[in-house]
Structure formats: C-alpha cells, structure tokens
Amino acid sequence: GDSVTQMEGPVTLSEEAFLTINCTYTATGYPSLFWYVQYPGEGLQLLLKATKADDKGSNKGFEATYRKETTSFHLEKGSVQVSDSAVYFCALGRGKLIFGQGTTLQVKP
Amino acid sequence: NAGVTQTPKFQVLKTGQSMTLQCAQDMNHEYMSWYRQDPGMGLRLIHYSVGAGITDQGEVPNGYNVSRSTTEDFPLRLLSAAPSQTSVYFCASRRTGENTGELFFGEGSRLTVL
C-alpha cells in the first residue's frame, strides 16, 4: 500500500541555517503530496502542497518539489528562524491522507 | 471562526471504561476523519466519513466506533478503553470533491488509559 518515509529527527539548527527535511513515498499512480506543520500544543496545519509531478509548493519561505523520478518531496528553507521550531509531517493522498512519522525541528538563536 | 472543535482536551480513563471524544466543525465540510498520533508513528487514520450516514474504517479502527448523524458532528467512541489507546487524537475535516484540498485539524484530545 501507499506509504511515506521521512528522515528521523530531531533536527537541530542555528538560526539562519539552511533546512532540508527528506521525504520519500511509495504510491500507485500520482497522488497529491503535502507538508503539514504542528506547533507545540496545536493541531496540524497545511504548510504547502503539490498536486502533480514537477509542481513546486511554497509558503512562508518553505519549498518542496514533487519529484516523480525519485519519488520524493523534500522540504527546504533557505534561512530558518526560531519561530520555525515545530514538527513537520509529509503526507500523500487523494482524499484519505497518509502521513509520515514526523520530523521535529528545533532552531536555536 | 471556530473551525474544528474537539472536546475534551484531556481525559484520563481506567481500563475497561468507555467514553466519547466529540468533534464538531462549522465549515459545512462533508468529509471528517479521526487520527491518532503516537511517538514515532506519525498520524494514523482510525475512521472517516464522507457525509452524514456514511462512515468507513481507516488503518487502525479496532476498539473504536463512529457515527455521523449530522454534517457537523463526528464523535469517536471507545467502548472498553485499553492502555494501548493512550494517545493524542485529532479530528480533521475538508470539503468533499476536493481530494487535494486542505485538511483542517482540531487542537487534539490527549487520552491516558491507566
């Protein structure tokens, strides 16, 4: 069945560092891909999405490109801030969403 | 601007007790779902519904019941709680017909079963 694998965390970075969180998937067909973010004590909220191959989703300085050939959807940000500290979830689906295990990001001043 | 509202936020149960986690949304979303979040496991789908009177099982449905009598409400019932059901539970909804649409999440309900 469909599945999502994320890099294990936690990831600890200094402010203004470059961020990459890896996400790879296994799926039949071409599902939509998503990144959700969960701030402490809150529910998940959509960060960005891509609905077809080679699409790039972007929001709040974060980007991810839907790569069919490598079945990947890596999340990147050029310069992280302390306020980006959160848990990031990669997900795929066409209705029902399947989530990865989540990657905790901690950004230190 | 309520969105998805879950109650209670925290609950402690003893093994064998029953309870219902409530979920309500005011966005007229037809699709509603329940997930559980466990460390290292991400979010796993328990049950979902595509409209009033229609429910279906997700990845981990055992030990949980749901019903959908109205568009707004989607309660999750634990008939006989077990320690393995200790988790954080999230309700989420979206509009149907938008499979690529955003899922809106509640703030979660933290359940501990002793």
Q: Across the interface, do B41 and A101 touch by the CB < 8 Å criterion?
A: yes
Q: Regarding predicted confidence, which is higher, B98 or B17? A: B17
B41 vs A contacts (CB less than 8 Å): 101
What's the pLDDT band for A2 if we cut at 50, 70, 90? confident
Radius of gyration in angstroms for the set of CA atoms belonging to chain A, rounded to a whole number:
13
Q: Across the interface, do B105 and A44 touch by the CB < 8 Å criterion?
A: yes
User: In angstroms, rounded to a whole number, what is the distance separating the alpha carbons of residues B89 and B6?
Assistant: 9
Instruction: Say if B97 is an interface residue toward chain A (CB within 8 Å).
Output: no
pLDDT digits (tens, 9 = 90+) for B15-59: 999 999 999 999 999 999 999 999 888 899 999 999 999 999 999
What pLDDT is stored for residue B37 in this prediction? 93
CA distance readout (Å), B113 to A7, A102, B12, B81, B85: 30, 24, 6, 7, 7
| CB proximity list for B67: less than 8 A, separation 6 or greater | B55, B75, B77
Q: Please count the helices (runs of H) and the strands (runs of E) in chain B.
A: 0, 11
Instruction: Say if B92 is an interface residue toward chain A (CB within 8 Å).
Output: yes
| CB–CB contacts below 8 A, A to B | 50
pLDDT digits (tens, 9 = 90+) for A31-90: 899 999 999 888 899 999 999 999 999 999 999 999 999 999 999 999 999 999 999 999
User: Does residue B99 surpass a pLDDT of 90?
Assistant: no
Q: Across the interface, do B100 and A96 touch by the CB < 8 Å criterion?
A: no
A49 vs B contacts (CB less than 8 Å): 100, 102
Q: Which of A6, A30, A98, A103 to mutate to test the interface with B (most CBs of B within 10 A)?
A: A98
What DSSP character marks residue B52? T
| CA B18, chain centre distance (Å) | 15
What's the pLDDT band for B85 if we cut at 50, 70, 90? very high
Q: Across the interface, do A102 and B42 touch by the CB < 8 Å criterion?
A: yes
**Residue of chain A with shortest Cα separation from B106:** A43
What pLDDT is stored for residue A7 in this prediction? 84
The beta strand positions in B3-108, using DSSP E, are: 4-7, 10-13, 19-25, 31-38, 42-51, 54-57, 64-66, 76-78, 87-94, 104-105
Q: Across the interface, do A96 and B35 touch by the CB < 8 Å criterion?
A: no
What DSSP character marks residue B103? P
Instruction: Say if B58 is an interface residue toward chain A (CB within 8 Å).
Output: yes
Q: Which of B99, B104, B107, B109 to mutate to test the interface with A (most CBs of A within 10 A)?
A: B99
